[in-house]
Amino acid sequence: MGDYIVAEGLRKTFRMGATTLDILKGVDLSLKKGEVLSIVGASGVGKSTLLHLLGALDRPTEGKVYYGDDDVFQMDDNRLASFRNRRIGFVFQFHHLLPEFDVLENTLMPSLIRGEDRDKATERALAILESVGLKDRLTHRPGEISGGEQQRTAIARALMGEPDVILADEPTGNLDTHTAAHVHELILRLNQTHQTTFVLVTHNEKLAGMAHRTARMVDGRIEEIISR
């Protein structure tokens, strides 16, 4: 199977007054469908910036990202927003659930934004929530469930659009060791059962070691990629 997501020569520079910060210094990376890739490295080396560019949440100073034949940064902002909503799922350390909505409603949100039929979307959401072990938490609001359950809700929400890839930034960063292990197992199970591609930025060496490949970043570049 050929490469599906390809990043070429990604550079990202921020200007702060007279100072220029080079965060990414020329990153090349490719992923195949169904792969789990972890990105590791010390704080400040550009891991989250790289993830944001792969997810088209930000535009690079230089470089390209392709999803199949789609050169994503050739799209205008409206097309790019639609592309993200249809093709990419996001899971963050701070899961950004809406506190006034329950687990089911939070999971449904991406589909409702896309204007999907609510009954069909609800049927899919119920199946996904059962698959992540939350069928007994449907009517609970985020403040009424544990941190691990909140993160599983965020993963369910990311799966709702049946995305090509889920990008996760420190998905277990706020969880205790036991709960983090359950989230690790869930990610791997979803990868195996749904063939969902995952890119995981993490400081958790155990989670990183479960991936098919690990990209180690140093000073804005990928220093090495370890395959398993």
52-84: per-residue pLDDT in tens?
A: 999 999 999 999 999 999 999 999 999 999 898
Question: Residue 148's closest CA among 160, 134, 163, 167?
Answer: 134
The pLDDT of residue 93 is: 67
Summarize pLDDT for 24-44 with one digit per residue, the tens.
999 999 999 999 999 999 988
Given a cut of 90, whether residue 163 has pLDDT beyond it is no
158: containing domain: 3-227
The pLDDT of residue 151 is: 84
Q: Give the integer Cα–Cα distance in Å for 39 and 169.
A: 9
Given a cut of 60, whether residue 1 has pLDDT beyond it is no
The pLDDT of residue 60 is: 96
Q: Give the integer Cα–Cα distance in Å for 53 and 121.
A: 29
Given a cut of 70, whether residue 223 has pLDDT beyond it is yes
Lookup: tokens for 141: 């609001």
% residues pLDDT > 70 (the chain): 98
Tell me, letter by letter, the H, E, C secondary structure of the chain.
CCEEEEEEEEEEEEEECCEEEEEEEEEEEEEECCCEEEEECCCCCCHHHHHHHHCCCCCCCEEEEEECCEEHHHCCHHHHHHHHHHHEEEEECCCCCCCCCCHHHHHHHHHHHCCCCHHHHHHHHHHHHHHCCCCCCCCCCHHHCCHHHHHHHHHHHHHCCCCCEEEEECCCCCCCHHHHHHHHHHHHHHHHHHCCEEEEECCCHHHHHCCCEEEEEECCEEEEEEEC
Supply φ then ψ for residue 168, to 5 degrees.
-125, 125
Q: Give the integer Cα–Cα distance in Å for 45 and 105.
A: 36
The pLDDT of residue 183 is: 80
CATH number (domain holding residue 118): 3.40.50.300
CA dihedral 206, 163, 142, 201 (to 10 degrees): 30
The mean pLDDT value of the chain amounts to 89
Summarize pLDDT for 185-207 with one digit per residue, the tens.
888 888 888 888 999 998 888 88
Summarize pLDDT for 106-122 with one digit per residue, the tens.
999 888 888 888 999 99
Question: Residue 155's closest CA among 167, 143, 141, 144?
Answer: 167
- Total number of domains constituting the chain: 1
Paired residues of 199 in beta bridges: 37, 167
